């Protein structure tokens, strides 16, 4: 899946599931959209469905530094690359 395809899917999830309005790639998810830790857990589950494999505990811990949609995209690309190795 290309980065553009990932972006399209993540933005759709944020709009449809988390009721974001016009999310920008560099918006701070928490400050600009009220995204909290429960939302983050739900999003990780959606990401697992999207990529087709479970994210390890160690990989989930790395998600704690995510602040923007660009961070989400970087995160997904990183874990996908690790699972291809």
Domains by residue range for the chain, with CATH: 3-84 (1.10.1200.10)
Average pLDDT over residues 23-36: 96
- Nearest 5°: phi and psi at 20? -70, 145
The rounded percent of the chain whose pLDDT value lies above 70 is 99
Structure tokens at 51: 């990529």
Whole-number pLDDT of residue 1: 85
Kindly report the CA angle at 78 between 27 and 25, in degrees rounded to 5? 15
Whole-number pLDDT of residue 42: 96
Whole-number pLDDT of residue 75: 97
Structure tokens at 48: 């697992």
Average pLDDT over residues 7-36: 96
38 pLDDT exceeds 90?
yes
23 closest CA partner among 59, 62, 73? 73
Q: Is 54 left (phi over 0), alpha (psi -120 to 50) or beta?
A: beta
Average pLDDT score, the chain? 95
């Amino acid at each position: 899946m290309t980065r553009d395809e990932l972006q399209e899917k993540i933005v759709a999830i944020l709009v449809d599931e988390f009721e974001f309005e016009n999310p920008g790639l560099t918006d701070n998810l928490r400050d600009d959209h009220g995204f909290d830790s429960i939302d983050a857990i739900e999003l990780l589950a959606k990401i697992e469905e999207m990529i087709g494999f479970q994210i390890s505990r160690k990989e989930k811990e790395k998600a704690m530094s995510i602040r923007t949609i660009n961070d989400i995209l970087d995160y997904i690309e990183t874990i996908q690359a690790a699972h291809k190795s």
